Amino acid sequence: MNNQQGIITYINGPVIRANNMENFRIREMVMVGENKLIGEVISLEGNIGTIQVYEETSGLKSGEKILSTGKPLSLKLGPGMLGNIFDGIQRPLDKINSLSEGFIPEGIGLISIDTAKAWPVKLLVQVGDEIRSGQIFGEVQETSLVLHRLLVPIGVSGRVTAVKEDGIYSMEEILVTVENGKEQHSLKMYQEWSVREPRPSKERKPIERPLVTGQRILDIFFPIAKGGTAAIPGGFGTGKTMTQHQLAKWSDADIIVYIGCGERGNEMTEVLEDFPKLIDPKSNKPIMERTILIANTSNMPVAAREASIYTGITMAEYFRDMGYHVAIMADSTSRWAEALREISGRLEEMPAEEGYPAYLPSRLAEFYERAGYVTTFNDQEASVTVIGAVSPAGGDFSEPVTENTKRFVNAFLGLDRKLAYARHYPAINWLTSYSGYLKALDRWYRENVGEDILELRAKMMKILHEENKLLEIVQLVGEDVLPDDQRLVLEISKVLKIGFLQQNAFHKEDTFVPLEKQYKMLKLIDLLYDRCFRGIRLGIPISQLRQEQLFQDIIKMKYTIPNDNLEAFEVLEERIVSCYNELEAKYTMR
The stretches of 189-332 forming alpha helices (DSSP H) are: 216, 240-250, 265-274, 302-321
Phi, psi of 115 (to 5 degrees): -80, -10
Instruction: Write the DSSP symbol of residue 284.
Output: T
Residues 106/56, Cβ–Cβ less than 8 Å: yes
* Backbone region of residue 19 per phi and psi (left: phi > 0; alpha: psi in -120 to 50; beta: other values): beta
* pLDDT for the residue numbered 278: 80
The predicted structure's pLDDT at residue 477: 87
**CB-based burial of residue 348 (10 Å sphere; 0-12 exposed, 13-18 middle, 19+ buried)?**
exposed
240 is in an annotated binding site: yes
**Contact by Cβ (8 Å): 317, 384:** yes
The pLDDT tens digits of the residues spanning 304-337 come to 888 899 999 999 999 999 999 999 999 889 999 9
pLDDT digits (tens, 9 = 90+) for 391-424: 998 889 999 999 999 999 999 999 999 999 999 9
Q: How far apart are CA 406 and CA 428, in angstroms?
A: 16
- Relative to beta strand 65-72, strand 325-331 is unpaired
Residue 376 zone, left/alpha/beta (φ > 0; ψ -120 to 50; rest)? beta
Which pLDDT score, from 0 to 100, does residue 193 have?
Answer: 95
Pick the CATH number of 5-72 from 1.10.460.10, 2.40.30.20, 3.30.70.1140, 3.30.70.270: 2.40.30.20
Dist CA 384 CA 387 (whole Å): 10
* DSSP class per residue in 469-515: HHHHHHHHH-GGGS-HHHHHHHHHHHHHIIIII---TTSTTTSS--H
What pLDDT score was predicted for residue 295?
87
Separation of alpha carbons 152 and 125, rounded Å = 11
238 annotated among ligand-binding-site residues: yes
The pLDDT of residue 304 = 86
Asked whether residue 239 is marked as a ligand-binding residue, the answer is yes
Class of domain 114-189: mainly beta
Per the CB < 8 A criterion, the answer to whether 371 and 361 are in contact is: no
Number of Cβ within 10 Å of residue 525's Cβ equals 21
| Residue 234 labeled ligand binder | yes
Residues 6+ apart with CB under 8 A from 247: 213, 215, 327, 329, 387
Query: Is 203-442 a domain of CATH 3.40.50.300?
Result: yes
6 is in an annotated binding site: no
Q: Give all strands (DSSP E) within 313-437, no chain letters.
A: 325-331, 372-375, 381-390, 411-412, 434-435
Tell me whether residue 57 is annotated as binding: no
Find out whether 535 is annotated in a ligand binding site. no
| pTM (two decimals) | 0.93
pLDDT at 236: 85
CB 309 within 8 A of CB 330: yes
Q: What phi-psi label fits residue 77: left (phi over 0), alpha (psi between -120 and 50 degrees) or beta?
A: beta
Q: In tens digits, what is the pLDDT along the chain, a chain of 590 residues?
A: 566 799 999 999 999 999 999 999 999 999 999 989 999 999 999 999 999 999 889 889 999 999 999 899 999 999 999 999 898 888 888 888 777 776 677 767 778 888 889 999 999 999 999 999 999 999 999 999 999 999 999 999 999 999 999 999 999 999 999 999 888 999 999 999 999 999 999 999 999 999 999 999 999 999 999 999 999 999 888 988 889 888 988 999 999 999 988 777 777 777 777 777 788 877 888 888 999 999 887 777 888 888 899 999 999 999 999 999 999 999 889 999 999 999 999 998 999 999 999 999 999 999 999 999 999 999 999 999 999 999 998 889 999 999 999 999 999 999 999 999 999 999 999 999 999 999 999 999 999 999 999 999 999 999 999 999 999 889 888 888 899 999 999 999 999 999 999 999 989 999 999 999 999 999 999 999 999 999 999 999 999 999 999 999 999 999 999 998 899 999 999 999 999 999 999 887 76
Q: Containing H/E element for 203?
A: strand 203-205
Distance linking the first and last C-alpha atoms of the chain: 96
pLDDT digits (tens, 9 = 90+) for 513-533: 999 999 999 999 999 999 999
Is 177 annotated among the ligand-binding residues? no
In the prediction, which pLDDT does 107 show?
66
Buried b (16+ CB within 10 A) or exposed e, 420-448: beeebbbbbbbeebbbbbbebbeebbeee
Domain ranges of the chain: 5-72, 114-189, 203-442, 450-589
Sign of the CA dihedral running 335, 336, 341, 342: positive
According to CATH, the topology of domain 450-589 is 1.10.1140
